[in-house]
Amino acid sequence: MGKKYQVVGVTEEDYTEMVESYMGFCPDCGDFTRDTTEPDAENYDCEECGKNNVVGAEQALLLGLIDITESEE
Ligand SMILES: [Zn+2]
Protein backbone atom coordinates (compact mmCIF):
# COMPACT_ATOMS: atom_id res chain seq x y z
CA MET A 1 0.00 0.00 0.00
CA GLY A 2 1.99 2.94 -1.24
CA LYS A 3 -0.69 5.55 -1.56
CA LYS A 4 -2.16 7.81 1.07
CA TYR A 5 -5.70 7.28 2.16
CA GLN A 6 -8.08 9.58 3.92
CA VAL A 7 -8.41 8.57 7.55
CA VAL A 8 -11.91 7.38 8.38
CA GLY A 9 -13.26 8.20 11.83
CA VAL A 10 -15.19 5.53 13.70
CA THR A 11 -16.66 5.59 17.18
CA GLU A 12 -15.18 3.34 19.85
CA GLU A 13 -18.42 1.35 19.91
CA ASP A 14 -18.28 0.77 16.16
CA TYR A 15 -14.60 -0.13 16.33
CA THR A 16 -15.18 -2.70 19.07
CA GLU A 17 -18.07 -4.13 17.09
CA MET A 18 -15.94 -4.42 13.95
CA VAL A 19 -13.18 -6.22 15.87
CA GLU A 20 -15.61 -8.62 17.51
CA SER A 21 -17.54 -9.33 14.33
CA TYR A 22 -14.33 -9.80 12.29
CA MET A 23 -15.05 -7.06 9.79
CA GLY A 24 -12.30 -6.01 7.40
CA PHE A 25 -11.62 -2.41 6.40
CA CYS A 26 -10.97 -1.47 2.77
CA PRO A 27 -9.05 1.82 2.48
CA ASP A 28 -10.01 2.13 -1.17
CA CYS A 29 -13.71 1.98 -0.32
CA GLY A 30 -13.18 3.87 2.94
CA ASP A 31 -15.46 1.46 4.71
CA PHE A 32 -15.75 -1.93 6.36
CA THR A 33 -16.64 -4.11 3.40
CA ARG A 34 -15.50 -7.62 4.28
CA ASP A 35 -16.57 -10.11 6.91
CA THR A 36 -14.63 -13.10 8.29
CA THR A 37 -11.47 -11.00 8.44
CA GLU A 38 -9.15 -11.53 11.40
CA PRO A 39 -8.45 -8.26 13.30
CA ASP A 40 -4.74 -8.46 12.35
CA ALA A 41 -5.27 -9.50 8.72
CA GLU A 42 -3.66 -7.68 5.80
CA ASN A 43 -4.11 -7.66 2.03
CA TYR A 44 -7.40 -9.50 1.92
CA ASP A 45 -9.66 -9.11 -1.09
CA CYS A 46 -12.48 -6.59 -1.15
CA GLU A 47 -15.79 -7.77 -2.53
CA GLU A 48 -16.76 -4.19 -3.36
CA CYS A 49 -13.78 -2.94 -5.38
CA GLY A 50 -11.83 -6.13 -6.07
CA LYS A 51 -8.56 -4.79 -4.67
CA ASN A 52 -6.50 -6.74 -2.16
CA ASN A 53 -6.08 -3.95 0.36
CA VAL A 54 -8.50 -5.07 3.07
CA VAL A 55 -7.04 -5.15 6.57
CA GLY A 56 -8.52 -6.29 9.87
CA ALA A 57 -10.02 -3.73 12.24
CA GLU A 58 -7.09 -3.69 14.66
CA GLN A 59 -4.64 -3.49 11.79
CA ALA A 60 -6.57 -0.59 10.25
CA LEU A 61 -6.18 1.34 13.50
CA LEU A 62 -2.50 0.39 13.76
CA LEU A 63 -1.83 1.60 10.22
CA GLY A 64 -3.72 4.85 10.81
CA LEU A 65 -6.38 4.05 8.22
CA ILE A 66 -9.09 4.58 10.80
CA ASP A 67 -9.21 6.76 13.87
CA ILE A 68 -11.28 6.43 17.01
CA THR A 69 -13.56 9.43 17.41
CA GLU A 70 -15.57 10.49 20.40
CA SER A 71 -18.98 8.88 20.33
CA GLU A 72 -21.90 11.25 20.15
CA GLU A 73 -23.76 11.83 23.38
ZN1 LIG B 1 -12.78 -1.97 -1.51
The mean of the pLDDT values for the chain is 94
Distance 59 CA to ligand 1 centre (A): 16
> For residue 56, what are the contacts with CB-CB under 8 A and spacing of at least 6?
19, 22, 24, 25, 37, 38, 39, 40, 41, 42
- Once rounded to an integer, what is the mean pLDDT over residues 54-65? 98
- Integer CA distances (angstroms), 1 to 21, 27, 69, in order: 24, 10, 24
Distance 13 CA to ligand 1 centre (A): 22
Binned at pLDDT 50, 70 and 90, residue 73 comes out as: low
In the chain, % of residues over pLDDT 90:
89
Distance 45 CA to ligand 1 centre (A): 8
Distance 12 CA to ligand 1 centre (A): 22
pLDDT over 60 (residue 50): yes
Cα end-to-end distance, the chain, whole Å: 35
The predicted model scores a pTM of: 0.90
